[in-house]
Structure 1
Amino acid sequence: MNSTANRLRRWSRNVHRELSFFFSGMLLIYAVSGLVMNHRDTINPNYSVEQRRYVVGEPLPARDRLTRDDVVRLLAPLDEADNYTKHYFPESDVLKVFLKGGSSLTVRLSDGEAFYEKLTRRPVLGAMTRLHYNPGRWWTWFSDLFAVGLVAIVASGLLLLKGPKGLRGRGGMELAAGIAVPLLFLIFF
């Protein structure tokens, strides 16, 4: 029996080591993007948002005389003239300009007060968080393999240590606590 247990431990150690190395990159990607997604109210994972208030230096024509060319001229100091898509008036005195890529400019015509919001894509972080939303069939296969790999890592890790630090000792208590925390959260929150 002792040799069987030793073979099982040796096999568990090898499985645990190899799968841990293979899936560690994915664990890091999910951990970082998961942290960002948990704090979406303070960190936008897809876009960096730059906001700027200023006053337009030139006098603005009245709403009924404002042309597309006038609006494009307002965008020139922001280097956004080529990104104009459309504009409208959400209020009688307020001009809202939409730009390619999601950026926008809001201008109060009476006093020229402007609010510019520039959105810039976060290519790495945005791509990492996209993986949480299952971007395609190929990803389903890999994420299923990842889930099975995590189960194998856990199962092999539980068999690595014996005695008071193993599953029948401190390790077992830590395992029970690790299961209890999410269950208590689900029950009470």
Structure 2
Amino acid sequence: MSPGTASARRRGFWLRTLHQWHWISSALCLVGMLLFSITGITLNHAAQIPATPDTQTRTAQLPGDLLAALVAQADDSDGSEPLPPRVRSWLADTIDVRPGAREAEWSPDEIYLSLPRPGGDGWLAIDLASGAVESESTDRGWISYFNDLHKGRNAGPAWSWFIDVFAVACLVFCITGLVLLQMHAGQRAMTWPMVGLGVVVPALLALLLIH
């Protein structure tokens, strides 16, 4: 086998491999890139996008047996722990609040639980003297919801893992694309000027126009 033939075979192998990784990573990234691109625009123009938060307040009276159990637990609490399962079940059935295993702030007089989520906020307070339960929930709409997903705000560990995996897939997409550009640059004279433009424009904006 001549050196030219071996070189051509190596080039063909790497082209096929890179194209395969490039299209696989692009398929994995497609929906995520659309989501992050669109929410990048909405975040950049957040002040110009009107939003009317919807706030709901709910109140209830904790049953005596559950209140007694909370008071006893508050005496032994270290100040931060989840609500007991029976109380969480009662809250879900009575006022449609599902705190899950989030840690609440325990004091001798009150239990307070912050309930932030993508696109909204909320809190829950239980008065240990009277058993009064008060909850407030604020919904800022779908745009705020997707903006918070973009930032990973209050979205939980599963979404955090998704962002990490998505970022790795994007790196594979970009790096394989760069190598493919290098392999085809000989037949495409504008390859490196266009790549250079993609570097120079944001660099000049950062140096000259960002204060």
**TM-score (normalizing by structure 2):** 0.49
- Separation in structure 1 between the aligned mates of residue 47 and residue 175 of structure 2, nearest angstrom: 36
Contact 1:9 1:159 in 2 (8 A): no
Show the counterpart of 1:75: none
* Equivalent pairs, count: 116
Root-mean-square deviation (CA, aligned residues, Å) is 2.4
Unaligned ranges ≥5, structure 2: 1-6, 54-119, 122-137
- Separation in structure 2 between the aligned mates of residue 38 and residue 146 of structure 1, nearest angstrom: 21
Secondary structure class of the residue paired with 2:48: coil
Contact 2:28 2:169 in 1 (8 A): no
Seq. identity, %: 25
Show the counterpart of 2:192: 172
- Separation in structure 2 between the aligned mates of residue 120 and residue 153 of structure 1, nearest angstrom: 36
Q: Is 1:142 aligned to residue 162 of structure 2?
A: yes
- Separation in structure 2 between the aligned mates of residue 10 and residue 153 of structure 1, nearest angstrom: 14
Pairing partner for 1:133 from 131, 151, 161 = 151
The CA deviation at 1:16 is: 1.0
- Separation in structure 2 between the aligned mates of residue 13 and residue 159 of structure 1, nearest angstrom: 10
The CA deviation at 1:157 is: 1.4
- Separation in structure 2 between the aligned mates of residue 120 and residue 129 of structure 1, nearest angstrom: 13
The CA deviation at 1:48 is: 4.0
- Separation in structure 2 between the aligned mates of residue 40 and residue 133 of structure 1, nearest angstrom: 13
Show the counterpart of 2:141: 122
Residue 22 of structure 1 aligns with an amino acid whose one-letter code is L
Please give the residue correspondences for 1:73-88 in structure 2 after superposition, counting only pairs within 5 Å.
none
Contact 1:164 1:170 in 2 (8 A): no
Contact 1:15 1:153 in 2 (8 A): yes
Show the counterpart of 1:8: 14
Residue 11 of structure 2 aligns with an amino acid whose one-letter code is A
Residue 177 of structure 1 aligns with an amino acid whose one-letter code is L
Pairing partner for 1:40 from 37, 46, 53 = 46
The CA deviation at 1:138 is: 2.5
- Separation in structure 1 between the aligned mates of residue 201 and residue 145 of structure 2, nearest angstrom: 30
The CA deviation at 1:2 is: 1.9
- Separation in structure 2 between the aligned mates of residue 121 and residue 141 of structure 1, nearest angstrom: 25
Residue 38 of structure 1 aligns with an amino acid whose one-letter code is N
Contact 2:21 2:172 in 1 (8 A): yes
- Separation in structure 2 between the aligned mates of residue 121 and residue 132 of structure 1, nearest angstrom: 15
Residue 29 of structure 1 aligns with an amino acid whose one-letter code is L
- Separation in structure 1 between the aligned mates of residue 170 and residue 149 of structure 2, nearest angstrom: 17
Pairing partner for 2:174 from 136, 154, 160 = 154
Residue 146 of structure 2 aligns with an amino acid whose one-letter code is M
